[in-house]
């Protein structure tokens, strides 16, 4: 859509309206998107970006697939399942969580102290989330029966309160959400069961777009990815500033929490010797293999079905 015409590098280029859908709501872990917005990186790329809240990675993938959002922030494992079972034509164009972000957090006073104790426990989590999708992978690696866990559907914004009020013993939450959980649960102590601690290794969230958008608007996707990575670099270099920017746009997100979540994102996103955002096809293949090891896909899925190269730096 054209919202005006700007001159860039001597060439007239239409300003594109871009809707980005998050995985879950608006949280401190999303601060770098708002840094890119606030500092004018999207605008400088001739993009008019609107950020809307998602209701889980599955929802984000479906919304992008239905053209309700041009780009989304969603989990790579959920993407494999969406492509393999529902043939939703959406691909990864940049990675943010290069390591598994999924975790379950339990109140220490619940008696859940090791992974096997999760058998018989209730875990609150939004419907259609990557934590539920990838939980069987974790359970197998950690040596317990995933089918013995009781899932309770709850909105992402409700999870910290449910845990703090002791209405549930455990919640599903990405490690990047730990600062908020610990703050709201205090003085209760929490036990963290991070999927990565069980030795599983797969890609987490990244930026996704449809096959059609990638084919027909590659320059728009590239500009969005590059501007977002610019925001990531700034946010990781100054998490406090990123927290303040996030708080400015969404006052319910406390600066200290957004700072802590941004620091947690930096740990997941920064891979020594690898360019920020750059997708490794071998890791995509590994993610597909992990999914195949615990799920039966209706349709075969290849690396080319999940990942579109060429949107990050020169090496892609």
Q: What is the rounded distance in angstroms from the CA atom of residue 159 to the CA atom of residue 78?
A: 21
Q: What is the rounded distance in angstroms from the CA atom of residue 109 to the CA atom of residue 107?
A: 5
Whether the predicted pLDDT of 7 surpasses 90: no
Q: What is the mean pLDDT of the chain?
A: 93
Is the distance from CB of 138 to CB of 200 less than 8 angstroms? yes
Q: Do 2-99+203-306 and 102-198 fold alike per CATH?
A: yes
Assigned architecture for domain 102-198 = 3-Layer(aba) Sandwich (3.40)
Is the distance from CB of 176 to CB of 266 less than 8 angstroms? no
Q: What is the rounded distance in angstroms from the CA atom of residue 161 to the CA atom of residue 293?
A: 35
Considering only residues 157 and 261, tell me which one the structure prediction assigns the higher pLDDT.
261
pTM, rounded to two decimals: 0.89
pLDDT digit string, tens, across residues 221-270: 999 999 999 999 999 999 999 999 999 999 999 999 999 999 999 999 99
- Identify the pLDDT of residue 313: 80
The phi, psi pair for 24, rounded to 5°, reads: -135, 115
Structure tokens at 1: 């859509």
pLDDT digit string, tens, across residues 72-81: 999 999 999 9
* C-beta contacts of 138-143 below 8 A and 24+ residues apart: 138/102, 138/193, 138/195, 138/198, 138/200, 139/115, 140/293, 140/294, 141/195, 141/198, 141/199, 141/200, 142/115, 142/116, 142/193, 142/198, 143/115, 143/116
Question: Of how many residues is the chain composed?
Answer: 316
pLDDT digit string, tens, across residues 169-200: 999 999 998 988 998 888 999 999 999 999 98
Give the burial string for 157-177 (b: 16+ CB within 10 Å, else e).
eebbebbbeeebbbbbbbbbb
Whether the predicted pLDDT of 5 surpasses 80: no
Q: What is the rounded distance in angstroms from the CA atom of residue 104 to the CA atom of residue 76?
A: 19
- Identify the pLDDT of residue 314: 60
Residue ranges per domain, the chain? 2-99+203-306, 102-198
Pairing between β-strand 11-21 and β-strand 71-75 as defined by DSSP bridges: parallel
Pairing between β-strand 150-153 and β-strand 122-125 as defined by DSSP bridges: parallel
Give the residue-averaged pLDDT of 68-96.
Answer: 97
- Identify the pLDDT of residue 157: 81
| Strand, coil or helix: 21 | strand
CATH 3.30.70.1530 given to domain 2-99+203-306: no
């Amino acid at each position: 859509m054209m919202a005006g015409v700007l001159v860039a590098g001597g060439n007239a280029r239409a300003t594109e309206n871009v809707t980005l859908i998050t995985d879950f709501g608006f949280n401190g872990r999303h601060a770098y998107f708002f840094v890119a917005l606030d500092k004018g990186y999207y605008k400088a790329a001739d993009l008019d970006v609107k950020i809307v809240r998602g209701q889980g990675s599955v929802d984000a993938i479906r919304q992008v697939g239905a053209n309700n959002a041009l780009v989304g922030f969603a989990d790579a494992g959920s993407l494999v399942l969406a492509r393999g079972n529902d043939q939703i034509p959406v691909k990864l164009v940049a990675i943010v969580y290069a390591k598994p972000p999924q975790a379950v957090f339990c109140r220490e006073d619940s008696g859940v102290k090791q992974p096997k104790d999760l058998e018989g426990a209730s875990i609150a989590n939004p419907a259609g989330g990557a934590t539920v999708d990838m939980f069987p992978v974790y359970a197998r690696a950690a040596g317990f029966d995933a089918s013995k866990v009781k899932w309770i559907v709850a909105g992402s914004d409700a999870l910290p309160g449910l845990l703090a009020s002791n209405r549930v013993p455990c919640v599903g939450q990405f490690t990047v959400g730990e600062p908020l959980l610990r703050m709201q649960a205090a003085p209760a102590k929490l036990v963290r069961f991070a999927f990565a601690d069980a030795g599983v290794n797969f890609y987490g969230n990244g930026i996704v777009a449809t096959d059609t958008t990638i084919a027909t608007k590659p320059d728009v996707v590239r500009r969005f990815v590059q501007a977002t990575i610019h925001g990531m670099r700034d946010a990781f270099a100054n998490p406090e500033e990123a927290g303040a920017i996030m708080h400015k746009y969404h006052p319910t997100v406390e600066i200290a929490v957004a700072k802590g979540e941004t620091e947690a994102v930096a740990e997941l996103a920064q891979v020594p010797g690898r360019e920020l955002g750059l997708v490794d096809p071998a890791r995509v293949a590994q993610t597909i293999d992990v999914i195949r090891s615990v799920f039966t896909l209706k349709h075969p899925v290849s690396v080319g079905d999940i990942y579109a190269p060429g949107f990050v730096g020169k090496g892609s």
